[in-house]
Amino acid sequence: MKKRSFRLTKLGILVFALACALVFVSGASVLAADVKEVKIGNILPLSGPSASVGLQNQWAIELATDKINKAGGIKALGGAKLINVFTDSKGDPNVGATAAEQLINTDKVVLVSGAWNSAVTKPSTQVAERYGIPYVVPVSVNDAITERGFKYTFRIAAKDSWWARDQFRFLDDMKKATKTDLKTIAFVYENGDWGSGMKEQWTKLAAQFGYKIVLDEPYPSTTSDLTPVVMKIKAAKPDVLLLTSNAADAILLTNTMATYKVKAKAIIGTGGGHADPSFRKTTGKNCENMFDVVEWETDLDRPQIPALNKEFKDLHKIDLAGESVDAFASVYVIADALERAKSTDPKKLRDALAATNLCGGKGKLGIDILSYDCVTFDEHGQNKNAGIVLVQFRDVNGTMERVTVWPVARKGIKPVFPMP
């Protein structure tokens, strides 16, 4: 009797386990069908020195989200709509880390996106990694962000070593094309993780390309007076000046250099403040013939750019910029991963992001506007295909424009090199 009782007990356990499994599968299907919205947490600098760029990123995310929702939402989740929750990091790492905690634990987001400032992205991705929540980085370029062994962090933008690499490749091409002698170089940069990371890359490349470093000058981006920095640049007399700045300090530095008639054969920004539309509007002729390295520009040969840029400009009175385009594209990357995961489960969503191979064409607006064809992440979560272009500030029919000059120049345009 005991033996038979034991067999019945085993059978009962098996039946119970199968019933539970069926209930779980059925329940999961119901849950997937019942998803009405997918909450995405966004950490951006909506106040402080980077507020202008942060706000443009928010606008781009909202525009992409609106387009996806109007096109039917996440179809694999029954048409669930994307809902954005925005938090202001103020450009402060501690505030950003706290924001990540709140988005995950209080707002119950399924994914976090952000945070523009590398110094904020580092700790906030660490929080997401600890909770096992996917984190998509549209733009934060410090190399270390995707080099810490994290499994839940994915970056759309190129990392700073690629930005620096292409600044030096451009200089090398210009040296050869124009037979310009370039021997000395100066680094001037905001003293956060972004600027410090760029400086590290510049230092390595300066040695590789045979430059003598005549100035290495960090500064706080909140400063209201950059005259001492400008006087150091003037005294150093570099052939090449490389800059990493937020919007307010990029404007202040450029206008102060113009006041003191500081010149170089090439002055090259690193996106950020130099890519902000307010920069050329506020500096005017003072920025003429300066260069900037970015991932994207409005004059790239992509047929969908003009219409999208017009739509954005009609809404916000400014052009799209490289950083805001990465933010726009990131929403499409997230939506694509949700479609393939068919779930908001963080692990399934993480695995779908890791397997991303999202290419343009067939109406994939978010990808068709990029300077490259596909978003694909490597084993570290870095987009392998992120591209770089060099632009020059040029007076075109009385308007200061950002004109692509490298690696492929806008039709009918040649770089002015060296700068007059």
The 3-state secondary structure of 295-347 reads CCCCCCCCCCHHHHHHHHHHHHCCCCCHHHHHHHHHHHHHHHHHHHHCCCCHH
Residue 348 lies in a domain: yes
| pLDDT band at residue 32 under the 50/70/90 scheme | low
* Phi, psi of 370, deg, nearest 5: -75, 165
**274, 399: one domain:** yes
Answer whether residue 16 shows pLDDT above 50: no
Identify whether residues 56 and 76 lie together within a single domain. yes
Q: Report the pLDDT averaged over residues 281-292.
A: 97
The answer on 322 and 261 residing in a single domain is no
Stretch 255-265: mean pLDDT: 98
- Please report whether residue 413 resides in a domain: no
Q: Per the domain annotation, does 25 fall within a domain?
A: no
Beta bridge partners of 42: 86, 113
Mean pLDDT value across residues 315-338:
96
Which is nearest to 304 in space by CA: 375, 226, 365, 231? 365
Residues 6+ apart with CB under 8 A from 419: 263, 264, 265, 266, 267, 289, 290
Residue 187 has pLDDT above 70, yes or no: yes
* 275 and 321 part of one domain: no
- Specify whether the CB–CB gap between 36 and 81 falls below 8 A: yes
Model confidence at 364, pLDDT cuts 50, 70, 90, reads: low
Average pLDDT rounded to a whole number, residues 78-105: 98
Q: What are 186's strand-pairing partners? A: 215, 241
Query: Do 399 and 266 sit in the same domain of this protein?
Result: yes
Angle at which helices 160-178 and 193-209 cross, to 10°: 40
Same domain, 341 and 372: yes
Confidence of residue 49 (pLDDT cuts 50, 70, 90): confident
Q: Which residues lie below 8 Å from residue 84, measured CB to CB, with a gap of 6+?
A: 39, 40, 42, 61, 62, 65
Residues 80 and 192 placed together within one structural domain of the fold: no
22 within a domain of the structure (yes/no): no
Between residues 273 and 362, the one the model is more confident about = 273
Does residue 419 sit within a domain?
Answer: no
**Phi, psi of 389, deg, nearest 5:** -130, 155
Q: Is residue 239 part of a domain?
A: yes
Q: 27: pLDDT confidence band, cut at 50, 70 and 90?
A: very low
* Residue in 167, 205, 164, 145 with CA at minimum distance from that of residue 383: 145
Q: What is the pLDDT of residue 4?
A: 40
Here the tokens at position 398 are 């009385």
Residue 254 shares a structural domain with residue 335: no
pLDDT-derived band at 29 (thresholds 50, 70, 90) equals very low
Whether the ω angle into residue 354 lies within 30 degrees of 0, i.e. cis, is no
pLDDT band at residue 357 using 50, 70 and 90 as cut-offs: very high
Cis peptide bond upstream of 220, omega within 30: no
- Prediction pTM value: 0.86
The answer to whether 360 and 96 are in contact (CB under 8 A) is: no
Judgement on whether residues 274 and 400 belong to the same structural domain of the protein = yes
- Residue 33: pLDDT band (50, 70, 90) is low
Report angle CA 291, 296, 297 to the nearest 5 degrees.
Answer: 70
Q: Which strands, in side-by-side order, build the sheet including 81-88?
A: 81-88, 37-44, 111-114, 135-137, 153-155
- For residues 400-418, average pLDDT: 94
Note whether 153 and 172 are same-domain residues: no
Same domain, 262 and 394: yes
For the chain, what is the mean pLDDT? 91
Tell me which residue of 418, 401, 419, 397 sits closest to 410, measured CA to CA. 401
Q: Which residue has the tokens 């963080």?
A: 346
Which CATH number belongs to the domain containing residue 259 in this structure? 3.40.50.2300
Q: Do residues 271 and 366 both lie within one domain?
A: no
Query: What average pLDDT does range 138-164 have in this prediction?
Result: 96
Structure tokens at 205: 């490349």
Please report whether residue 420 resides in a domain. no
**Do 50 and 247 touch, CB atoms closer than 8 A?**
yes
Domain membership flag for residue 128: yes
Domain that holds residue 107: 35-158+302-376
Cβ 194 vs Cβ 119: under 8 Å: yes
Number of domains within the chain = 2
